[in-house]
Each structure stands twice: as structure tokens, then as C-alpha cells.
Structure 1
Amino acid sequence: MSEKHLQTGDVLPPYSGKLRLFAMRFCPYAERSVLVLNAKKLDYDLVFINLDHKPEWIFQFSPKGTVPALEYEQGKAIFDSNIINVYLDEKYPDAPLQATDPLRRAEDKMLVENFSGAQSAYYTAAFNAQALQPNMVENYHKGLEGLQKEMESRGTKFLHGDEAGLVDFTIWPFLERFLALPLLGKTEFAIDSAKYGLLTTYIEAMKTVPAVKAYYLAAETHAKFTESRAKGDPNYNMLDTSAVCCMRPRKKKE
């Protein structure tokens, strides 16, 4: 698979008959759906797109041109990671990723919602540092503290239980990126093992989950991409080391 991000003027790769996910390699929301597809051990194609110079055809699958979008039949797609992931879990019920108890499913959704403040703080710290306010750092750590408290209450290896589930795959992409913040000089966002012992143990456990391991990027890699994006020139193709052997060539301009 090529890591090349297709852009304006590039043609849509031919449909193979498999599920096809349109994504951006460094997007945490797209990663959520990649992890679910991996966890389900589904056969799928992955197409990366440049979000600054979007190929015209992405709007056929996602009206706003956002990722992820899942093409489940040729020319038919659903978008938004939450919608996609619930669909996948219900469509392919083997190895279910959601709790069977309705109350626990509700608790998982509330946990994700309560964690959103930390996600917001991350985006400001990473891409708009001049707008960072002290209360945002506080919100970030409140999110981490709430997550650690919930893990302590549940007493399981993962939030879902003894195996990682949808709630883990929803939160993990942000934790993966949080680890890059100290490398960008944002030391106040460090996840200190002395304070967050249970959380750091969880992070290390998540790195070993096969679905995660197959897609995981190191903090140094996320930091490098973040720096390029913060400068206004995101290097989408920084991981691409292969020729685009399975994609049609870009159209020539008349």
C-alpha cells in the first residue's frame, strides 16, 4: 500500500469490490475507523487524500470532503468515524467491540464526550499555540484525570475489558498524538508516569494491540507532521516510500 495522498486532479483508484476507507494518514478520526477495520480483521482498501487540495471525487463519498468515509458498495458510502464504526460493529458482529450492557455503552459514550476537552486543548497546543490559555491546559489534565479515574473504577486492562474495544479505539488516536506534545516544546502537556501511572500502563498496553500496532506512529513522527502543518505546509506524503503502483496516474492538465 502506498502512503501517497491523492489530491486535486488525481483520478479515483479503481474499485476492487472490497470495503474502501478514504482517510488521511495523520487524522485521528480516520485512525479510529482504521483500528476498527483492523480489529474486525476485515479485508479493505485504504485511500489517503490531501485535505488541503482534495480530489474532486471525495465529495461523492463525503459531502463536506471530510474523512473518514467508508465506501461499502461501489459508489455508496457513509461518513463520520462514529457512524462508520457502529455500522461496522453491527454489520460484522463477530468479535463485537461494544459492550452488551446498554448502560455500559452509555457510560462509554459519556467517557468519550468528557474526554473531548482534552482533545480540544491538544489541537490548540499543536496547531495554534499562540491561542493557548491556562484553562485549556487545565481542561487537558482534567480529561486525563477523568480517564485514569474511570480506568481505576473499571479495574480492567482496557476500557472495554480484558480486550480492547470500540471505546478504546475511539480514544486511543488522541492519546497517541498527545505523546508528541512534549517534543514540540509543550512540556505542560506531558503525561507524567508519576501522576498518571495507570494511564501510562494503559498506553503501553494499547501499543501492543494488533489492530493498533499495525497502524501506530511514533511520537517523533507525529511531531514532525504537526510542525509541518503548523507552518502551513503539511507534509502529507512524508511516509511515502513506494511508487504508486496500484493507482492510476494523475491526469494531465490541458
Structure 2
Amino acid sequence: MVEICAKAAVGNPETLGDCPFCHRVVATLEEKELDYQLNLINLDDQPEWFIDEIPSRELPAMKNEHGHWILQAEEICRIIEELHPEPSLDTPPHLVGVGCNIFGNFEAFLESDDPDDGTEQALLDELEAFDEHIRENGPYIAGEDVTALDFSLTPGLLHVPVALPHFKNWEIPEHLTHVRGYLELMLSRPSFEKTTPEDQYIIAGWEQKLNC
């Protein structure tokens, strides 16, 4: 059985929190239909065993067969794919960069207090480029087959229509129908239905980070 440490929700330590990197790992395990032990870590009250075993306190973390903790979602998911190749989530190499800047630009816009610093436009440019990619290549990033890249992108992308309306009164523009459709498609997969945090926990996580 795979053992995973992931961030617990702010305000509810019994449920998976808002961290998109933790979400990616847990959703990947669900998509692979693997058995796993999920250790939810309340960052406001971290257990001593977690601090002792993972001094960096970095999440997500996965314990390997030798009892060592593997850190960083990208590496964890690579190992999961290597050890459990079916169903395949292998991503075609030429698609690796698609959508990779959306979450970073979302975060920059969310944290910005300057309406003229270009962060809003940078996010919009990324969403428009992704919309065009899905329109031409969808329904998933690689076409008909879901891949690891979809599981990397979606946990961050879903924060956009939750956090930005709440904090910035900003919505994904209506003309970006393929972005909206893609997100709806991904969130309808059982692996995301089982793992996606409620909106209130996404907002609570950002409230804590933004010191609201």
C-alpha cells in the first residue's frame, strides 16, 4: 500500500486541503485505482512523527518501498507511473509545456494589489492560449486520452473560478468556453469527484496565505 502525506484542509483537518500539488498526487492514485494510506497533515498542528521523518515539512510526500520519503509531486507521480503503468497516464513529450504557466500567473494576479502590473493580462493570455489548444486538440490536452499533464494542470486550474471571484470579483471570461468545458470534464472524472476540496476549503487556504 502506498503511504502519502498531504496537506489537510484549513478548518477541517479530516479532509484533503487546497494544495494543488497534494491534490495531484491523490487524484493520480485514485485514477490508477491504487490502495493508499493518506496521512492528512494539519500545518497548524503538525504531528511530531511528521516533523521527525520529514524535517523539511514539505508536502506532498510518499514513502517508498525502502521506507524513505519521496518529495515533490512531479517526482512522486513519475514513480507512480513507473511502478503502475496501467492505466497509462504517459504524456507525449511535445505537450509537456501546455498550460504550465496558468497556476503561477493566477497566483501572481491573486496576490497583486496593483491593477496595472500586468498580472491580470498575463493570466488571461495563458487561459486564452489554453482555450485555443483544447479547441484544436481536445477534449483533453493530448486529445481523447487523459494524461499526467491533465492531472498536473487541473488541481491548480480549478482554483481560478473559485478564488478569483471571491477575492478579486473576477471570472473566467465567458468566451473561453473550452477552458470551462475542460475543467467540467476533468472534475467529472471519479478520481476528481473523490478528491477535489470543497470551495470553502480552497478559499480558507488562500485566506490563510493572504492573511485575510
Q: TM-score, normalised by structure 2?
A: 0.84
Question: Is 1:176–1:219's contact at 8 Å kept on the other side of the alignment?
Answer: no
Q: Which amino acid aligns with 2:203?
A: A
1:108 aligns with 2:95: yes
- For 1:207, the equivalent position in structure 2 comes to 187
Q: Distance in 2 between matches of 1:131 and 1:45?
A: 43
- For 1:191, the equivalent position in structure 2 comes to 172
- For 2:13, the equivalent position in structure 1 comes to none
- For 1:123, the equivalent position in structure 2 comes to 107
Residue 74 of structure 1 deviates from its aligned partner by: 6.1
Q: Which amino acid aligns with 1:164?
A: V
Query: Percent sequence identity over matched residues?
Result: 21
Q: Which stretches in structure 2 are left out of the alignment for 5+ residues?
A: 8-16
Question: Is 2:21–2:60's contact at 8 Å kept on the other side of the alignment?
Answer: yes
Residue 73 of structure 1 deviates from its aligned partner by: 2.8
Residue 125 of structure 1 deviates from its aligned partner by: 4.1
Q: Distance in 1 between matches of 2:71 and 2:77?
A: 10
User: Secondary structure of 2:184's partner?
Assistant: helix
Q: Distance in 1 between matches of 2:147 and 2:208?
A: 32
The residue correspondences of 1:50-129 to structure 2 (distance < 5 A) are 50-58=42-50, 62=54, 64-73=56-65, 75-99=67-91, 105-112=92-99, 115-116=100-101, 118-126=102-110, 128-129=111-112
Q: Which amino acid aligns with 1:186?
A: K
CA pair 145-62 structure 1, distance change in 2 beyond 3 A: farther
1:225 corresponds to which of 205, 208, 211: 205
Residue 42 of structure 1 deviates from its aligned partner by: 0.3
Question: Is 1:22–1:47's contact at 8 Å kept on the other side of the alignment?
Answer: yes
Question: Is 1:179–1:191's contact at 8 Å kept on the other side of the alignment?
Answer: yes
CA RMSD of aligned residues (A): 2.3
Residue 147 of structure 1 deviates from its aligned partner by: 1.1
- For 1:171, the equivalent position in structure 2 comes to 153
Q: Distance in 2 between matches of 1:133 and 1:32?
A: 32
